[in-house]
């Protein structure tokens, strides 16, 4: 059963509307700046929170099918015409799944730094660090950063994880993502989101970061097989987050 996704309107009025799907442990909040920059160029831009993320409901089912069905239900209720679907990382996997299963709902597909394949071994450290953090003993976000540093030495990654840390009405610290359900689902979430033979024949673009290892040269044949009308844009100076690392080139690649 689908859940009612939260959305963030980022401006613009033009069609087709751009619908953005964030990555694992992210949210629509991560796309405020890049989304507003896209909207400034004309199209209506809406960023969604996937289930178990941001302000969207939690559910034990974290499968790609369930997440794609959530987005489809939101589109059917809010945007009946075809949309330009943009997905980053996990959101790219969901976007690929939806485009292949429901091509009439997608006018154009943009996948950001993720390939149609499995990623074994990814993301374990992040979840181990979140699980190890003693929320009951936590006094401040600064203390949380210090506690995470042993397992996550990269400052930027720690700050990203800490965007998911909040306090309830009583002041108790809690994760704003459904960490337990997402961690249980990791074997699927690091897998390929597409069933055998799935493909999308419409306009598609893969944007990859030249300094990222998420999309390798050998992955491009997999992309072409699944998305035969698609192309690839490499942003040489970008890592895994082109919407932050190479904003100008990213905007051009999405809207060109």
Q: What is the pLDDT of residues 147-167, one digit of tens each?
A: 999 889 999 999 999 999 999
The pLDDT of residue 73 is above 80: yes
Name 173's bridge partners.
167
Residue 19 has pLDDT above 70, yes or no: yes
233-245, pLDDT tens digit by residue?
999 999 999 999 9
pLDDT of residue 238: 97
The predicted structure's pLDDT at residue 125: 84
- Nearest Cα to 211, choosing from 250, 233, 237? 237
- Of all residues in the chain, the percent with pLDDT exceeding 90 is 94
170 vs 250, which has greater pLDDT?
250
What burial class does residue 154 get, using C-beta atoms within 10 Å of its C-beta: 0-12 exposed, 13-18 middle, 19+ buried?
exposed
Average pLDDT over residues 187-191: 94
Q: How far apart are CA 47 and CA 124, in angstroms?
A: 26
Residues 15/37, Cβ–Cβ less than 8 Å: no
Task: Flag whether the pTM goes above 0.85.
Answer: yes
pLDDT tens column, 206-228: 999 999 999 999 999 999 999 99
The predicted structure's pLDDT at residue 1: 84
Query: What would the mean pLDDT of 67-89 be, rounded to a whole number?
Result: 97
For the 7-119+191-255 domain, the top CATH level (class) is alpha beta
Residue 123 binned pLDDT confidence (cut-offs 50, 70, 90): low
Q: What is the mean pLDDT of residues 112-131?
A: 89
DSSP structure class, residue 174: E
Q: What six digits make up the tokens of 103?
A: 């091509």
Active site residues: 89, 180, 240
The Cα–Cα gap between 205 and 247 comes to 16
Whether the predicted pLDDT of 121 surpasses 80: no
**Where along the chain do the CATH 3.40.50.1820 domains lie?**
7-119+191-255
């Amino acid at each position: 059963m689908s859940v009612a996704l939260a959305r963030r309107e980022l401006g613009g009025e033009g069609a087709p509307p751009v619908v953005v799907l964030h990555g694992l442990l992210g949210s629509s909040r991560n796309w405020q700046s890049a989304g507003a920059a896209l909207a400034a160029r004309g199209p209506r831009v809406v960023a969604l929170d996937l289930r178990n993320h941001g302000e969207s409901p939690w559910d034990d089912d974290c499968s790609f099918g369930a997440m794609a069905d959530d987005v489809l239900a939101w589109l059917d209720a809010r945007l009946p015409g075809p949309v330009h679907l943009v997905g980053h990382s996990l959101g790219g996997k969901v976007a690929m799944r939806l485009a292949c299963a429901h091509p009439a709902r997608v006018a154009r597909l943009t996948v950001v730094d993720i390939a149609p394949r499995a990623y074994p071994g990814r993301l374990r450290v992040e979840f181990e660090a979140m699980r190890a953090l003693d929320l009951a003993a936590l006094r401040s976000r600064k203390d949380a950063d210090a506690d995470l540093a042993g397992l996550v030495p990269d400052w930027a990654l720690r700050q990203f994880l800490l965007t998911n840390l909040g306090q309830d009405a009583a002041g108790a610290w809690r994760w704003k993502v459904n960490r337990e359900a997402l961690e249980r689902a990791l074997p699927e979430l690091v897998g390929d989101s597409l069933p055998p033979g799935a493909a999308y024949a419409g306009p598609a673009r893969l944007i990859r970061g030249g300094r990222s290892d998420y999309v390798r040269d050998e992955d491009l044949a997999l992309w072409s097989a699944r998305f035969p009308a698609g192309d690839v844009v490499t942003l040489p100076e970008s890592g895994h987050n082109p919407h932050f690392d190479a904003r100008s080139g990213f905007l051009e690649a999405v809207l060109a």
